[in-house]
Structure 1
Amino acid sequence: MKLKLISSIFILLGYNSFAQNAKTDLSDSLVKDKQVILAKYVPMANGEYLYKGYQIPIDSFINRVNDFRADFNAQIAKDKLSDLSILKEKDVMFYSYNVLAHYQIYYGMDSVGMENFGKVVQEKRGEPNFYKLIDSAQKKAFPKRLSNDERKRLDDIIRKSTDLNDAALFKTSAAYRTWLNDYLKGVQRKKYLADTALGYGGDNVAMLKVIAAEISDPFIKEYLLYTFTGTVIKSVKNAGAKESAYKDFMAGTTNETYKKGIMEIYINYKNMSSNAVSPDFNYTDINGKLVSLKSLRGKYVYIDVWATWCGPCKAEIPFLTKIENDYHDKNIHFVSLSVDRMADKAKWISYVNDNKLQGIQLMADKDFSSDFVKKYNINSIPRFILIDPTGKIVSGDAKRPSDPALRKQFDSLLK
């Protein structure tokens, strides 16, 4: 529970890695403005939960969520299309389950404690006692906790439904898809233990077994296998696990669109591991000048793929700055490639200028949908890439600046 809680804190603060979503034809078209109505019952502002909501006693919070459902269901009951009404009621039901799950994770959170937690992550990373400091800060961030009985009570509500195969709802309700994903992950933790030798990515490999065994609806099963197979190929370090996931999926699906998508991810992975020439880019720097990767040939190129909203990315910046200073006269370019949305370009420029970031500062043209980002199968950030002076890939998933092994690699290459 402690690891799950700490991980959840990182997510709330924006210290999580960003995962790319697979391209789909799925929609969220049943019930609009659920957040607007929810804000009548749960403290929210601009679609975000407020800290005071995490202080509400459990009985009161459950009652508020029930009132939210009753409000919507009264509106839905007026709908003359009975089949659609049933789907709408389910959409609101699963949305309410997700609200309760969020409350269960973040109950008792203190705003001052969370601010301190963020400072510890930003300023103390790399210190020998970092994890002790994190543990202490986490306790201050959550001075109040739910009892085991209270957690079980919420679990019984959230997990009340075992409807894992409603294809019509899956296609039209983001709330149901979120609930189902969380439900299956819970099943994985209880029944399908991950191979610890695969590290963090082992959970995604185990999820392939969960989906195959627990889901019977053909549409949902094929979509989830497609999604998690892509995640395994992109993120798991073990080559054997990647190959097995790829072969199993290609042998088991008849969906040509999914096959094409997984094959593209697999080819990108193989290119990164075969000393291939790197895909090029041509992106705008902080001064509005276009910079191509080809124009940087003749030197090694170390690329930091990051975003202003990404906590782990920003935690690496002090280490990156130190390395840039220590190797400034060596045969290497340092490039920071932002995947912030174009709508947030002004925010990116301000962050770079305010923090006096060094190196070549670029912004990708379509955030995570940019060609260069997709060619490197980047499904989370921060991500680091190392390219040699001829433009060939040394590593598509290079060591982080905070890893001492990076300096050893640079020392061996930049003699």
Structure 2
Amino acid sequence: MKKTLSLLCIPFAVHAQKNVFLKGRLPEFAGKTVLLENSKQLKAPLYFDAKGNFVFSGELDSAYYTIDKDIQLYLGPGMNLVLEGKLNELHLQGPGELENNAQANINYLIQKIFPVSNGHLQKEFNLIEPEDFIQLTKQFKDQAFSLLSKQGFGSKFFKSQQDHVDYTIKYFIHDYLKRYGIDPVREDEYYKLAQSLKPGSDLPEILLPAAKAIYVRRLPLEKIAELQAMVWEDFDLNNGELYSFSPYYKSLISVRLDALRTAELVKSPYFKSKSSFELKRDIVQRDFADGPIKEELLFQNTLQLICGSINDDKYLKDYLSVAKDPGYRELVQLRYDKLKLVSPGSEAPLFSYKDQTNHTVSLSNFRGSYVFLDVWATWCSPCKQELPYLKEIEQRYQHQNIRFVSVSVDMQAHRERWLQFVKEQNLPGTQLIADRDFRSDFIQAFGINTIPRFVLIDPDGRIVDSNAPRPSNPKLQQILDKLLLNNLSSCATCSSK
């Protein structure tokens, strides 16, 4: 009988060893349900009671996970962790604490040796010599590897953290190269000058001398080549494990992809006819191996390509023919289906927003005229660069059947700043501010997540183009001339009848 019992217990024991157990108290999540996620599209709900207590048990592969995208953990079979404290002062106890504490200590070491400000190494690094900076990277690597060597970690975790250290060093050498020789005082003066310039100023003529003046030192070309080699030689484009948790490696992948895009443009002028997102999508498809990095980059660039244009069908078909990740495929399909509702010929969603005099203006007020809609914000530099061209277009068509409407996605809390900008720049046309910035229903309906964005609507309130050319693009004038001429001919025909 005892022998039989022991045999019956074996499957349960094996199952328990595969499970990960999490429990604890996180008051900041009290009463909420958040997700335990990883790069393989796992989305397991974690339920927190009124005091922030939770319990989770499930089979998980050894990998990096996040809780509500705020807490990063390394989890694997047999781990049994108790989590307590605040999100920025989390305490872990139990099997698995050694790995997670080691990772936390390495990240603390990064912040200590490479302090950043506004996304870059702090300004005191700008003027230190390369030899001194390389010595810092060696110091960091020695201390980080010392932390890893003190424990008997599994080979997968150990290798991932080694890679994390190596690519963190590559990232900061790359950042050091970009910032070397910049005088902090002159840089501040440059940005003050840039912010003081009004749209329409001759920016290159005014800013270029100031931009050059911020550099008080230059590295010899051979030293630049040496440092660049430290970053890019033997660079692995396909380290999916590292990509899942290292922001430094992830950032370098983005930099590398931009560099590959630039190289493509140098190869052939043909590529200039393609958008940045289309070109990067093609590079990812060609140069990246199948895996999580390729899947995410294909997803990100396709999501930008599908924007309500006549090419959406092709972009969706191309994506679905190569993408394998079911989660990303579903999200791209959902975006396509949503934007199909605002495709050319569809009735434009309506809005009612306040103008600068606090009067409510609705899209329906412009029925009977073409509407050229500019979605922008006062903080958006590319948007402000379009303003002189927009003014010229408005002036050109001021006596024709087209209305120009600008909708700002500035937050309502910044309404006064928007009002002041509209007044100072003497912006023409109808000036409106969306009720809930990017979250506004009208903005969401068009899937707008980057600006500037331009929408063209016909006199019947139907969409002509939900991603129209910018005012700086000569193609816009050709489109408007053709539409207005056809409209005029149509009206003349109607009148004669």
Shift of 1:254: 4.2
TM-score of the pair, normalised by structure 1:
0.71
C-alpha separation in 2, matches of 1:371 and 1:35: 40
Aligned positions of 1:170-209 closer than 5 A: 170-187=243-260, 189-190=262-263, 196-199=269-272, 201-209=274-282
Return the match for 1:103 from 172, 176, 187: 176
C-alpha separation in 1, matches of 2:273 and 2:104: 36
The aligned counterpart of 2:434 is: 363
| Distance change >3 Å, CA 372–CA 151, structure 1 → 2 | farther
Q: Deviations over 1:95-138 (max 9, x none)?
A: 332222222223223453574477469748657x7655555444
Shift of 1:311: 1.4
Q: Work out whether residues 94 and 176 of structure 1, in 8 Å CA contact, stay in contact via their aligned partners in 2.
A: yes
The aligned counterpart of 1:18 is: none
Shift of 1:146: 2.8
Q: Work out whether residues 201 and 232 of structure 1, in 8 Å CA contact, stay in contact via their aligned partners in 2.
A: no
| Distance change >3 Å, CA 326–CA 190, structure 1 → 2 | closer
Structure 2: state its 5+ residue gaps: 1-40, 43-64, 74-102, 489-497
The aligned counterpart of 1:349 is: 416
Return the match for 1:220 from 293, 300, 306: 293
Q: Deviations over 1:269-296 (max 9, x none)?
A: 6666633222334556668777653455
SS of the residue 2:345 aligns to? coil
| Distance change >3 Å, CA 254–CA 332, structure 1 → 2 | same
The aligned counterpart of 1:386 is: 456
Shift of 1:158: 1.4
Return the match for 1:55 from 111, 120, 127: 127
The aligned counterpart of 1:397 is: 467
C-alpha separation in 2, matches of 1:319 and 1:122: 19
| Distance change >3 Å, CA 389–CA 238, structure 1 → 2 | closer
Q: Work out whether residues 344 and 465 of structure 2, in 8 Å CA contact, stay in contact via their aligned partners in 1.
A: no
C-alpha separation in 1, matches of 2:232 and 2:310: 33
Return the match for 1:277 from 347, 360, 375: 347
Aligned positions of 1:83-98 closer than 5 A: 83-98=156-171
Q: Work out whether residues 188 and 206 of structure 1, in 8 Å CA contact, stay in contact via their aligned partners in 2.
A: yes
Q: Work out whether residues 284 and 298 of structure 2, in 8 Å CA contact, stay in contact via their aligned partners in 1.
A: yes
Q: Work out whether residues 344 and 462 of structure 2, in 8 Å CA contact, stay in contact via their aligned partners in 1.
A: no
C-alpha separation in 2, matches of 1:36 and 1:299: 59
C-alpha separation in 1, matches of 2:106 and 2:366: 49
SS of the residue 1:55 aligns to? coil
The aligned counterpart of 1:231 is: 304
The aligned counterpart of 1:13 is: none
Q: Which protein is richer in helix relative to its size?
A: 1
Q: Work out whether residues 434 and 440 of structure 2, in 8 Å CA contact, stay in contact via their aligned partners in 1.
A: no
Shift of 1:195: 5.5
Bigger radius of gyration: 2
Aligned positions of 1:13-412 closer than 5 A: 29=72, 38=110, 40-42=112-114, 44-45=116-117, 49-75=121-147, 81-82=153-154, 83-110=156-183, 111-112=185-186, 115-116=189-190, 119=193, 123=197, 131=204, 135-187=208-260, 189-190=262-263, 196-199=269-272, 201-234=274-307, 239=311, 245-266=315-336, 274-281=344-351, 292-294=362-364, 296-320=366-390, 333-340=403-410, 342=411, 345-353=412-420, 355-356=422-423, 358=427, 359-363=430-434, 365=436, 367=438, 372-402=442-472
| Distance change >3 Å, CA 386–CA 160, structure 1 → 2 | same
Q: Which protein is richer in strand relative to its size?
A: 2
| Distance change >3 Å, CA 297–CA 78, structure 1 → 2 | farther
Q: Work out whether residues 302 and 384 of structure 1, in 8 Å CA contact, stay in contact via their aligned partners in 2.
A: yes
Q: How many residues align?
A: 384
Shift of 1:306: 1.9
SS of the residue 2:405 aligns to? strand
C-alpha separation in 2, matches of 1:74 and 1:339: 49
Q: Which has the higher contact order (CA 8 A, sep 6+)?
A: 1
Q: Work out whether residues 194 and 202 of structure 1, in 8 Å CA contact, stay in contact via their aligned partners in 2.
A: no
Shift of 1:202: 4.9
| Distance change >3 Å, CA 60–CA 362, structure 1 → 2 | same
Shift of 1:151: 1.9
Structure 1: state its 5+ residue gaps: 1-23
C-alpha separation in 2, matches of 1:195 and 1:272: 35
| Distance change >3 Å, CA 316–CA 213, structure 1 → 2 | closer
Q: Work out whether residues 117 and 141 of structure 1, in 8 Å CA contact, stay in contact via their aligned partners in 2.
A: no
